[in-house]
Structure 1
Amino acid sequence: MPEDAQRLIDTSTAHPARRYDYWLGGKDNFAADRESADAIARLAPLVPKWARENRWFMRRAVAYLAREAGIRQFLDIGTGIPTSPNLHEVAQAIAPESRVVYVDNDPIVLTHARALLTSGPHGRTAYLDADLAEPEDILGSDEVTTTLDLSRPVALSLIAVLHFFKDAQDPHGIVRRLVSALPSGSYLAISHNTWDYLPEPRRAALESAVKDEGQCRDRAQFTRFFDGLELVDPGVVVLSEWRRDDSADLPLPEPWEISAYGAVARIP
């Protein structure tokens, strides 16, 4: 790990990306992350299943975008710690010429950038250390402007990241700014946690446990991210149900087991 990254990483405080890595069975996490993850899992024992289903949603969405929508450029913001297959691996397995820019502001993700940047010879990948809260910095970065052609369709991927933004941070406005920079024929893919399917008092206990980290949203609030866009069938659904196929090799969970929405939409 680079020395500057080591200095930036606070191992004493739990981090959502490292907690997610732990739920997925990864090794890039610390004691504080594991303790926090286990505490949440005691309230929601199925949260590791959510983590796996969220990854499967990403893979299905990217496969659809590359195979059926013909997208060859991807902007993935809130990348997190890489878990193979990564987005570019899914896209380039279908279309080797695909170009991908990964964006994250977690220094531990930066230490994995070399792995993320391993692209096939016909495509290209880049990594940008930036924050979703500053969309202009992302859109104007050298990594984006030299890797992607923003005059041609791009798929914007925001997987399990917007629920870390509270309403006061205007996540809907951030998404609108990013979408407005993309041409017609581009796409937006989002997964987002919700309390809609959780019964009380489990909902209240979980909401209290993560209240300082962001905000879950109901169906209407989630759907607002796609205002003015053309939702791809089946529209807004529990993420485990979005174009599910046999690739997950897992039984379809009940909505309350996942309690997260997923959707993909075309930018007209």
Structure 2
Amino acid sequence: MTDAATPDAATWLSDLGDLFDRVEQVAGVPLQTLWVSELEDQSILLPASDADPVHRILYRDNTHETTPYLVAMEAVQLLRVLQAPGEQQLAMLPRREARERVVSEAERRNRDLSLAQQRKVGLNLYNTTLSQLRTVPPAMAVDRWLFEQLPQLRSRQDAFLRQQCQELAEGLALGMDRRMPPLVLQANRAMDAAYAIHAATLSGVPEFSLPYQGSAWEELGTELLQLAQASTSDAAESTEVSDPDRQVIDAWAERLGIARWYDWS
């Protein structure tokens, strides 16, 4: 079921019909897309529940070039979650001692701020790093799936990847390095580089990774991509059903030195 507010939205929602049918077949419940103009995020997934057995993807802008791709990403990520065994669907939980260590290091690097602001910076750096670790590997897997399975979205995908890489490049220019603990800086920049290289490779646009070329971040980002490919290959060859995202995430965390920052539960 869809709520298409414009002819353009009706067209691209129709293009995603086969994907939605596949999700509904696996889920066993309907998948609904709704245009919500006042939505804070560009798109959001509201999973079904016992009280409301309908998966819903809400999206904000029904005419923007990247909106169809965002909706498709939500649908594919839902499909990947539904296909993972229940015991593998674990939440990433922060470790208090790791969080406080990052906050303490951030406080020392931000003495020009008030005590409350120093702590806020530290908490934000810790939470953002874990969020990045949790979301980037799955997002790259979804990008690859859509590239292979929905070629009609290629131009939309290129626009989305370009937008993401531009935002990463803008982050480099903010001059925040001195305010970030070395381990946070390394993790942040390496994951950004990995995503930019991934985007450049997938789209065939080398410029996407240009800000990282020749840097230490490019080298480490390339290592992360190799770890992701190795983990995916290992999962494909395994006779046991497993969650490839968790394997990649743990491999990245180990390489970045932040494996003790979280637990799975």
Q: TM-score, normalization: structure 2?
A: 0.34
More strand by share: 1
More helix by share: 2
Q: TM-score, normalization: structure 1?
A: 0.33
Q: Which has the larger radius of gyration?
A: 2
